[in-house]
């Protein structure tokens, strides 16, 4: 009796836990306020799905420090992606974007959970520019994993995390259980601490 060998098995390890992520978010909020000399004209826009959760967290922290109310929006960049044609006939799943205020003349803080190739950020910038002319667009990311395909860089980075192309960074921003995982297929090599 013969059996087929099992397929690739993936393994993951926790890179950052909830207390460390909370400290990172507070540091990022301080850096954002310092670089912008306060919250005036700051407009947070999260890229759906992970970026909007992160933008809400940063909004809450900044508002608690500055005793102000910051506008918060979210954008679905699905139709702005440059890889739509490569998905065949499969219809993309669209989520609702929400920009409560015009972007004209505002300092937009675009927020995403993981910066990888830069293509999602490029799509988000295209989306925003279709709705007006911000005075500035800045980028905040929780994790920058490298491997850029476009000349995009983050202004505010929670954690620089060099990865291989075979690895995947997974972010869970469930309140109180925030975790960042590094996942790798066993066929691409074992995980090791660095």
pLDDT in tens, 153-185: 999 999 999 888 889 999 998 888 899 999 987
Whole-number pLDDT of residue 171: 93
Nearest to 171 by CA among 16, 9, 11, 10: 16
- Residue 193: pLDDT above 60? no
pTM of the model: 0.86
- Residue 9: pLDDT above 80? no
pLDDT band at 85 (very low <50, low <70, confident <90, very high): low
**By three-state DSSP, how is residue 63 classified?**
helix
- Residue 91: pLDDT above 90? no
How far is the C-alpha of 7 from the C-alpha of 154, rounded, in Å? 37
- Residue 191: pLDDT above 90? no
Domains of the chain (ranges plus CATH)? Answer: 19-79+99-164 (3.40.50.2020)
Whole-number pLDDT of residue 175: 83
How do residues 107-148 score in pLDDT, each as one tens digit? 999 999 999 999 999 999 999 999 999 999 999 999 999 999
The contacts of residue 67 (CB under 8 Å, 6+ apart) are none
How far is the C-alpha of 35 from the C-alpha of 55, rounded, in Å? 17
The contacts of residue 19 (CB under 8 Å, 6+ apart) are none
Whole-number pLDDT of residue 79: 86
How do residues 56-68 score in pLDDT, each as one tens digit? 999 999 999 999 9
How do residues 25-36 score in pLDDT, each as one tens digit? 999 999 999 999
């Amino acid at each position: 009796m013969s059996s087929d060998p099992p397929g690739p098995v993936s393994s993951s390890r926790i890179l950052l836990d909830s207390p460390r992520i909370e400290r990172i978010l507070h540091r990022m909020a301080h850096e954002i306020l310092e670089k912008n000399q306060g919250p005036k004209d700051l407009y947070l826009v999260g890229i759906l799905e992970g970026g909007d959760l992160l933008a809400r967290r940063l909004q809450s922290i900044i508002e608690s420090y500055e005793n102000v109310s910051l506008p918060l929006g979210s954008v679905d960049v699905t139709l702005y992606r440059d890889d739509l044609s490569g998905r065949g006939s499969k219809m993309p799943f669209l989520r609702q974007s929400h920009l409560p205020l015009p972007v004209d003349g505002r300092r937009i803080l675009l927020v995403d959970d993981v910066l990888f190739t830069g293509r999602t950020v490029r799509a988000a910038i295209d989306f925003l520019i279709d709705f007006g002319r911000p005075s500035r667009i800045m980028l905040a990311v929780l994790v920058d994993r490298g491997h850029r395909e476009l000349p995009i860089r983050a202004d505010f980075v929670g954690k620089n995390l060099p990865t291989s192309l075979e690895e995947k960074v997974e972010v869970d921003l469930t309140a109180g259980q925030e975790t960042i995982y590094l996942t790798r297929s066993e066929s691409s090599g074992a995980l090791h601490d660095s």
